[in-house]
Amino acid sequence: MVMEISTTLSTQPATDKQLAEVLANPGFGNHFTDHMLTIEWTPDQGWHNGRIEAYAPISLDPSAAVLHYAQEIFEGMKAYRHADGSVWAFRPEANAARMARSSERLALPVLEIEDFVQSVFDLVKADERWVPEASETDEKSLYLRPFMFASESFLGVRPAQHVTYMVIASPAGAYFKGGVKPVRIWLTEDYTRAGRGGMGAAKTGGNYASSLVAQAEASAQGCDQVVFLDAQEGKYVEELGGMNLYFVHADGRIVTPETGTILEGITRASIIELAGKLGYTVEERRFGIDEWKSGVESGEITEVFACGTAAVVTPVGELVHAGGSIASAGEGEVWKTLRKQLVDIQFGRAEDTFGWMRKI
Ligand code: PLP
Ligand code: COI
């Protein structure tokens, strides 16, 4: 069943001039559209009171459980404007399915896939003029952030009995300042992201809160992102703070870490399919930090790159650690080919042979 969502349009939407200024240079995560979508949940009523209304601060009781116990999950996806003006989403059902898995892990109610997709589409329709025009050299899009949190006022530790789901949207340009250029990665030895049985595979705020101090360490070392190793042995590469990793080998293999504790990206799944179609053999397996170091040094690894919705596909230029740094071959061609194939599908410039795109 598809849910009822009412709409009350903003009485003070951005003027055309304000909008044009924002869309000319949106950056990432700075500006928000005219509207937001909210749906509430209680055990008695299930999902109810679905509404789109003017974007505005929300009010929460100081005892709301999310503020104390971080019972929260979110998603990240984008809407793309094609050359004919139409607006499309990339694999929204995959984000819906991942949010359902995150719900299970965080003891939150599951929003059905069709309701998730409808909620996102409805907000994009209400704020369609916020979807930027894009070109081959300027890949702007509308970043969509569905999220769900424990809004019950109660300090006992148990799954909340009042939950709020929202979608907000933010026009987006390049995630890294300076656009697509090789990023420097800091290898943290002090912090881990996720342990066995923990929340590593869920997209939940706590994972990002715990990454901040490591990310600050990375910035202090002049790096753009931090790479985490597995918590148990400190030997295996997991992922970056907000992206999955790939290692391209001279013999045509591409290895991407699989440990059970990483966030499995929608971009990651798509790159695996694209790479397979291009004739690469993709291995999803544990990948040692020593394998990274020795592979780059011996020339067996020819490229390292990272991918995620916000950052798309980004080459990794250098791995920096307490003992020094290893230059990595981030300048190769494989990441560029995969990136182009992916964004050409997303922006409607290449045929979508995988059936990934959904018209909004
Ligand atoms: N890993 C982490 C920790 C992330 O935050 C993200 C971004 O969402 C990803 C990986 C990549 O996931 P996706 O490709 O679905 O954006
Ligand atoms: C995304 O790529 O959608 C994310 O959520 C990553 C976040 C660090 C911005």
- Return phi, psi of residue 307, to 5°: -145, 155
Q: Is residue 360 part of a domain?
A: no
Lowest mean pLDDT among 220-229, 233-242, 296-305, 318-327: 318-327
From the CB of 244, is ligand 1 less than 6 Å away? Answer: yes
> Could you identify the atom of ligand 2 that is nearest to the CA of residue 241?
8
Angle at which helix 266-277 crosses helix 92-105, to 10 degrees, equals: 130
Binned at pLDDT 50, 70 and 90, residue 155 comes out as very high
Q: Give the residue-averaged pLDDT of 197-202.
A: 94
Report, in angstroms and rounded to the nearest whole number, the Rg of the chain calculated over CA atoms.
Answer: 21
Is the domain of 217 the same as that of 322? Answer: yes
- Coil/strand/helix, residue 304: strand
156 C-alpha to ligand 2 centroid (Å): 31
pLDDT at residue 159 tops 60: yes
pLDDT digits over 35-57, tens only? 999 999 999 999 999 999 999 99
Q: Report how far residue 221's alpha carbon sits from residue 117's, in angstroms, rounded to the nearest whole number.
A: 40
- What's residue 329's pLDDT? 62
The count of structural domains within the chain is: 2
Is the domain of 239 the same as that of 279? Answer: yes
Contacts of 212 (CB under 8 A, 6+ apart): none
With contact defined as beta carbons under 8 Å apart, do 358 and 92 qualify? Answer: yes
pLDDT at residue 137 tops 90: no
Closest ligand to C-alpha of residue 95 is 1
Is the domain of 212 the same as that of 319? Answer: yes
| Count of C-beta atoms within a 10 Å radius of residue 85 | 9
Residues in the chain: 360
Closest by CA to 248, choosing from 308, 187, 315, is 315
> Could you identify the atom of ligand 2 that is nearest to the CA of residue 267?
2
Is the domain of 334 the same as that of 189? Answer: yes
Contacts of 135 (CB under 8 A, 6+ apart): none
Q: Report the predicted TM-score, pTM, of the whole model to 2 decimal places.
A: 0.95
Final residue of a domain: which of 140, 174, 208?
Answer: 174
pLDDT at residue 179 tops 90: no
Q: Is residue 298 part of a domain?
A: yes
Q: Count Cα atoms within 13 angstroms, Cβ side, for 65.
A: 21
From the CB of 211, is ligand 1 less than 6 Å away? Answer: no
From the CB of 310, is ligand 2 less than 6 Å away? Answer: yes
pLDDT at residue 178 tops 70: no
* Percentage of the residues of the chain whose pLDDT score is greater than 70: 98
Q: Report how far residue 163's alpha carbon sits from residue 213's, in angstroms, rounded to the nearest whole number.
A: 29
- What's residue 3's pLDDT? 81
Q: Is residue 202 part of a domain?
A: yes
From the CB of 266, is ligand 2 less than 6 Å away? Answer: no
- Coil/strand/helix, residue 303: strand
Is the domain of 112 the same as that of 162? Answer: yes
- Coil/strand/helix, residue 355: coil
Is the domain of 106 the same as that of 56? Answer: yes
* Percentage of the residues of the chain whose pLDDT score is greater than 90: 86
Q: Report how far residue 119's alpha carbon sits from residue 138's, in angstroms, rounded to the nearest whole number.
A: 27
Is the domain of 200 the same as that of 271? Answer: yes
Closest ligand to C-alpha of residue 170 is 2
Look up residue 43 and give its two tokens.
């055990």
Q: Is residue 1 part of a domain?
A: no
Q: Report how far residue 306's alpha carbon sits from residue 182's, in angstroms, rounded to the nearest whole number.
A: 10
From the CB of 308, is ligand 2 less than 6 Å away? Answer: yes
Q: What is the mean pLDDT of the chain?
A: 94
From the CB of 309, is ligand 1 less than 6 Å away? Answer: yes
Q: Is residue 210 part of a domain?
A: yes
Closest by CA to 107, choosing from 204, 3, 40, is 204
From the CB of 102, is ligand 1 less than 6 Å away? Answer: no
Binned at pLDDT 50, 70 and 90, residue 182 comes out as confident
Is the domain of 168 the same as that of 61? Answer: yes
Range of the domain at 262: 183-347
Is the domain of 135 the same as that of 229? Answer: no
Q: Is residue 59 part of a domain?
A: yes
256 C-alpha to ligand 2 centroid (Å): 18
Residue 53: give its domain's CATH number.
3.30.470.10
Is the domain of 32 the same as that of 157? Answer: yes
Residue 197: give its domain's CATH number.
3.20.10.10
Buried b (16+ CB within 10 A) or exposed e, 119-145: bbbbbbebbeebbbebeeeebbbbbbb
> Could you identify the atom of ligand 2 that is nearest to the CA of residue 242?
8
Which protein residue's CA is at the shortest distance from atom 3 of ligand 2?
76
Is the domain of 214 the same as that of 129? Answer: no
311 C-alpha to ligand 2 centroid (Å): 8
Final residue of a domain: which of 141, 174, 207?
Answer: 174
Q: Is residue 103 part of a domain?
A: yes
Q: Is residue 357 part of a domain?
A: no
10 C-alpha to ligand 1 centroid (Å): 32
Is the domain of 157 the same as that of 202? Answer: no
From the CB of 309, is ligand 2 less than 6 Å away? Answer: yes
Final residue of a domain: which of 174, 193, 209?
Answer: 174
